[in-house]
């Protein structure tokens, strides 16, 4: 079986190299076709696939993304230090987020970006962001003071203010963390609490090696169980807000923060949404 698997992998690599290879310049052109221009604020979610067709190293794709926004733009990526668990479960493990040393678990592109020159990182224990470009430090400032790490007091609000673009590279819409900002925005309209009642605390180690105990609100288990994100995606699609492209063996998805906000507000105004009602309310 291993021989068959190895043969398939070699065949796949041959096909990708022969028919789906693209370079950094072509990648930037593809990003341009999705409406991303120099000077934009761009948040990127990604997964690195060795058979994506990109003719270069991970660092070369990071450089291409920097070229896409230019020195007057801002490149942002998430750098959560955990995966496959909720932020509440992560906080329960009491593991500190070391701003200088904790690796990003949000894909290799994010981790290479984190290690690059000129990249800043915010001090949120659960949702630290990376930023490079114009006003990167100011964009991230004070994240540790935002009790809701993706709420109005966080850099996620600044994504909205800047009308940022979001780009997903070989990952689904569900990876886009700005959706949590949307959920915080519509929280007053929900028939259940978006957050757990108790405030949790996370540990952050700053650039000087000082440890901080940071209060954090976490999304409730009820909200996570009742979320039906596919309805939101369908509405965004119907509005033409989601733009898709393929280059080589890489799939791209782009959306504006402004369109995400407008779509969610329209759904709430119509009495619809992307959360189910609690069973107790549905029964009543």
Looking at the domain assignment, is residue 208 inside a domain? yes
Looking at the domain assignment, is residue 5 inside a domain? no
Looking at the domain assignment, is residue 14 inside a domain? no
Looking at the domain assignment, is residue 1 inside a domain? no
Residues in the chain: 284
Looking at the domain assignment, is residue 7 inside a domain? no
The reported pLDDT for the residue numbered 61 is 97
d(CA 75, CA 57): 18
The reported pLDDT for the residue numbered 51 is 86
Q: Which residue has the tokens 């290690």?
A: 115
Range of the domain at 39: 22-283
List, run by run, the mean pLDDT of 10-residue segments along the chain (284 residues).
57 54 96 97 95 94 98 97 94 97 97 97 98 97 97 98 97 97 97 96 97 97 96 97 96 98 97 88 51
Looking at the domain assignment, is residue 159 inside a domain? yes
The reported pLDDT for the residue numbered 15 is 46
The reported pLDDT for the residue numbered 7 is 46
Q: Which residue has the tokens 């600044």?
A: 158
For the chain, how many structural domains are there in total? 1
d(CA 228, CA 199): 25
The reported pLDDT for the residue numbered 11 is 46
Which residues touch 46 (CB under 8 Å, ≥6 apart)?
77, 106, 107, 109, 110, 168, 169, 170, 171
The reported pLDDT for the residue numbered 50 is 85
Q: Which residue has the tokens 């678990």?
A: 105
Looking at the domain assignment, is residue 127 inside a domain? yes
Q: Is the dihedral of CA 88, 100, 133, 213 positive or negative?
A: positive
The reported pLDDT for the residue numbered 97 is 98
Looking at the domain assignment, is residue 17 inside a domain? no
d(CA 214, CA 228): 30
d(CA 22, CA 281): 53
């Amino acid at each position: 079986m291993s021989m068959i698997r190895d043969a398939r992998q070699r065949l796949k690599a041959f096909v990708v190299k022969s028919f789906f290879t693209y370079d950094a310049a072509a990648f930037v052109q593809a990003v341009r076709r999705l409406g991303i221009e120099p000077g934009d604020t761009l948040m990127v979610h990604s997964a690195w696939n060795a058979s994506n067709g990109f003719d270069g190293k991970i660092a070369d794709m990071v450089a291409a993304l920097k070229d896409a926004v230019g020195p007057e733009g801002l490149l942002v990526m998430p750098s959560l230090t955990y995966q496959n668990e909720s932020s509440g479960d992560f906080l329960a493990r009491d593991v500190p987020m070391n701003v200088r040393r904790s690796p990003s678990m949000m894909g290799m592109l994010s981790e290479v970006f984190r290690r690059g020159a000129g990249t800043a990182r915010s001090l949120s224990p659960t949702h630290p962001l990376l930023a490079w470009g114009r006003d990167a430090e100011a964009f991230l400032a004070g994240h540790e003071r935002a009790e809701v790490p993706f709420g109005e007091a966080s850099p996620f609000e600044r994504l909205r203010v800047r009308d940022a673009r979001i780009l997903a590279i070989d990952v689904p819409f569900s990876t886009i963390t700005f959706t949590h900002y949307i959920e915080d925005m519509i929280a007053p309209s929900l028939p259940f609490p978006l957050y757990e009642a108790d405030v949790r605390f996370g540990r952050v180690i700053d650039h000087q090696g000082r440890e901080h105990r940071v209060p954090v609100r976490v999304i409730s288990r009820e909200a996570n169980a009742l979320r039906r994100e596919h309805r939101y995606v369908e509405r965004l699609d119907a509005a033409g807000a989601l733009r898709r492209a393929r280059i080589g063996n890489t799939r791209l998805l782009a959306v504006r923060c402004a369109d995400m906000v407008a779509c969610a507000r329209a759904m709430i105004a119509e009495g619809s949404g992307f959360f189910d009602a609690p069973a107790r309310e549905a029964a009543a």
